Amino acid sequence: MIGMNVQLLTYLFVGLSFALYIGIAIWSKAQSTNDFYVAGKDVHPIANGMATAADWMSAASFLSMAGLIAFLGKDGSVYLMGWTGGYVLLALLLAPYLRKFGKFTVPDFIGERYYSSFARKVAVLCLIFISFTYIAGQMRGVGIVFSRFLEVDIETGVIVGMGIVFFYAVLGGMKGITYTQVAQYCVLIFAYLVPAIFISILMTGNAIPQIGFGSTLVDSSIFLLDKLDQVTVELGFNAYTNNTKNTIDIFCITAALMFGTAGLPHVIVRFFTVPSVGDARKSAGYALIFIALLYTTAPAVSAFARMNLIDSIQDQSYSTAPQWFKNWEEIGLIAWQDKNDDGVIRYSSGNALEGTKPIYKELRGDYGERLLENKPNQNNANEVYIDRDIIVLANPEIAELPGWVIALVAAGGLAAALSTAAGLLLVISSSISHDLLKKTYMPHITEKQELRYARIAAAIAIGIAGIFGIYPPAFVAQVVAFAFGLAAATFFPALFLGIFYKRLNKEGAIAGMLGGLIFTATYIIYFKFINPGHNIEEYWLMSISPEGIGSIGMLINFIVAIVVSSLTKEPPKEVYEMVDMIRKPL
Amino acid sequence: MDNKSKEYWNSNLKIVSILLVIWFLVSFGFGILFSDTLDQIKIGGFKLGFWFAQQGSIYIFVLLIFAYVNLMQKLDEKISQEEDSDE
């Protein structure tokens, strides 16, 4: 399938990176709960910035985002602005104050600020749901990389990945995770930039992809984006640089992603690990620089990939089609159905097949292509099914880059998936051992016992995540909207008002969180699971899709919280003092 | 809360509000609401609205956080100096 060289190189790169992660884990073993939950609170802000970036940039950012934007064009901007703009909110509205508060977890803050163990439990519940949703996605990323590049079963791949995470998360806790994430950031950003720079030079002659995709094509006076607009329109798609979604929906999706990002517990907790309030502010800035490096490169990669993809397959006869096309067809992420029996690949807008995914027969067609059970969709002339997740992985092959670049991308994809999985496992385990056991059900356990429970909880969470990876629930993609929508509709208002609105009492906070949670969850469950046939604009509330509804859930949370709070009694004096304390930096 | 703390908090709120107005303007404003209008202007190969949506807003986000870091550092120093001179 792929050349022996590429496979050997991939084993080498992945092996070396794994050895590095394990070495770091042994060097940074956690000794106390302070080490385990918040890395001893002495992580340098630049190191924390890198760790936050790796924690944040998941398999979805690394593998899926550029592919998504390649197919969505300007509509894909919601992910770029949404997943970076949240850091401004984090830095200005949450991180410094939560660091000053100085405890271990996000439910910790909610429990103490709203003097309520019920509020704490609601927070733990939301946290576990959000984090497991996320982990399932990481495991799919690990599975794809392993099966395509190392040619092992997805099961074996997931077990190896879990073994590595188990080793450094259970042993090292936050301390081990932090320093491993620093290494993982370096691996993933290098792996992302190298092919992007290569392709930018090949296509535009400019080594900086961010500028390259606004430049003219090599040997031509036509701008790349103009050419892309022209080609996409010719093939029946919408022009690449125009929006197609309605403005209200784009606005709401971007807002839900931004406020959701600022409310994600595994990101917030990273700011608990630095020595001071000033460091928490700086650390958010460094994190965003490191994230922006990938996020400003991604849309360039998308434009290059879309252009290259069309160029390399359109009107090619299948027998002379490039090798990558056939490789990914073998994996089951590309399919070709020769609608007009001319042996030539015709790529245009519309779904080529009936049904969402290709179902392959054992038989081969006249040209060696895999035959499909799916009936051809005769409403359009498109003959090609392409899974969007393959764009980043296939991009170096499509651009005919050397084998070591392909191997590097595999190692980078694994680094992105593993670093995020580890961060999520940590917040799950610490919310169980700290918030549920120590603070609620077993207040008398010693620190040593708490640490042991934290490790047991991490081990169990890894097991569950592994099962998700091997038997991925079919609804993974469907529930991603959930994670951000819920974080925006539950955590963000509770945290923000907790700091900026002293009068908010426990009744208000709990009513607000439940209101936001129930509204958002009901809307998403209705359109995604109960009545997916109605999941189109004419049935949506104010033309807002389930992906964007978290922003309305957030508004509901704010209104309910403030109204209920003003009708019930003031919070106790200690809470006022606590808020005064977290508002002062020193 | 004593007067000093109130003053500190109000300056803090002012800094945060100004920065968030810019945050809103470059993303929701230039990148979404007025994006199609800005697309009439072209810089190199980029339509301006498209550039804000896929590049410009992100660069400005980074600048905003560092502006906040610096302004707050100055504010922190000013307050701690005033406290010292009181003693």
Residues A414-442 have pLDDT tens digits of 888 888 888 888 888 887 877 777 777 77
Phi/psi at A159 (5° precision):
-65, -40
Contact residues, chain B, for A216 at CB < 8 Å: 45
pTM (predicted TM-score): 0.89
Does any domain span residue B72? yes
- A·B CB contacts under 8 A: 122
Contacts of A210 in chain B (CB under 8 A): 55
Task: Say if B63 falls within a structural domain.
Answer: yes
Dig out the tokens for A72 from the structure.
Answer: 């969505």
Please count the structural domains in chain B.
Answer: 1
- Higher pLDDT: A533 or B64? It is B64
pLDDT at A201: 92
Whether A225 sits inside 8 A of B50 (CB atoms) is yes
Whole-angstrom distance between the N-terminal and C-terminal Cα of chain B?
19
Residue B67 has pLDDT above 90, yes or no: yes
The per-residue pLDDT for B8 is 87
Closest residue of chain B to A66, computed from CA coordinates: B54
Structure tokens at A70: 């390649």
β-sheet bridge partners, residue A334: A386
Domain that holds residue B48: 11-79
What is the C-alpha separation between A327 and A192, in angstroms, rounded?
A: 21
The two tokens of residue B37 are 């209008």
B80 closest CB neighbour out of A214, A250, A586: A586
Residue of B16, B44, B65 lying closest to A288 (CB–CB) = B65
Residue A472 is predicted with a pLDDT of: 67
Which of B32, B59, B66 is closest, CB to CB, to A247?
B32
Residue of B nearest to A225 (CA): B45
pLDDT under 70 in chain A at which residues?
A: 1-4, 30, 38-40, 148-149, 472-481, 586
Within-domain flag for B34 = yes
B62 touches chain A (CB under 8 A): yes
Q: Are B61 and A88 an interchain contact pair (Cβ–Cβ within 8 Å)? A: yes
Q: What is the largest CA-CA distance in chain B?
A: 61
Q: What is the Rg, in whole angstroms, of the alpha carbon atoms belonging to chain B?
A: 18
DSSP state for residue A586 in the 8-state scheme: -
Cβ of B61 within 8 Å of Cβ of A215? The answer is no
B76, closest residue in chain A (CA to CA): A585
Assess if residue B86 is contained within a domain: no
In a domain? residue B20 = yes
Contact A285 B27 (CB under 8 A): no
Which is higher by pLDDT, A427 or B51? B51
* CB A414 within 8 Å of CB A361: no
CA dist A284 and A427 (Å) reads 19
Give the one of B9, B47, B58 whose C-beta lies nearest to A296's C-beta: B58
Residues of A within 8 A of B57 (CB-CB) are 80-81, 84-85
Spell out which residues of chain A touch residue B37, defining contact as CB-CB under 8 Å.
none
C-alpha triplet A157, A163, A166: angle, nearest 5°: 140
Among A167, A131, A21, A123, CA closest to A425: A131
Q: How far apart, in Å, do the first and last CA atoms of chain A sit?
A: 61
Nearest Cα residue in chain B from A585: B76
A189 in Cβ contact with A181 (< 8 Å): no
Nearest CA in chain B to A285: B65
Instruction: Please tell me which of the candidates A211, A213, A580 has its beta carbon nearest to residue B1.
Output: A580
Q: Which residue of A has its CA nearest to B5?
A: A584
Nearest CA in chain B to A214: B45
What pLDDT is recorded for position A2? 47
| Residue of A81, A132, A9, A157 whose CA lies nearest to A427 | A132
pLDDT at residue B23 is higher than 90:
yes
Q: What is the pLDDT of residue A532?
A: 74
Is B84 within a domain?
A: no
Q: Which residue among B8, B28, B43 places its CB closest to the CB of A251?
A: B28
pLDDT of amino acid B85: 67
CA-based angle A70:A73:A74, to the nearest 5? 145
Within 10 angstroms of residue A541's Cβ, the number of other Cβ atoms is 11
* pLDDT number for residue A477: 53
Report the C-alpha gap between A338 and A405 in whole angstroms: 32
**Which site among B61, B71, B73, B76 would you substitute to test the A interface, given the most A Cβ atoms closer than 10 Å to its Cβ?**
B61
**What single-letter amino acid sits at A265?**
P
Considering the domain boundaries, does residue B17 fall inside one? yes
Does B50 reside within a domain? yes
Q: Is B30 on the interface with A (CB under 8 A)?
A: no
Looking at chain A, which residue has its C-alpha nearest residue B33?
A247
H or E segment to which residue A177 belongs:
helix A154-204
What value of ipTM does the predicted structure carry? 0.94
Contacts B9 to A, Cβ<8 Å: 583
Of B46, B51, B68, the CB nearest to A91: B68
- Residue B34 sits at the chain A interface (C-beta within 8 Å): no
Of the candidates B5, B31, B55, which has its C-beta nearest A296's C-beta? B55
Residue B15 corresponds to which amino acid? I
Is B25 at the interface with chain A, CB within 8 A?
no
Tokens of A585: 């930096």
CA angle A531, A533, A536 (to 5 degrees): 105
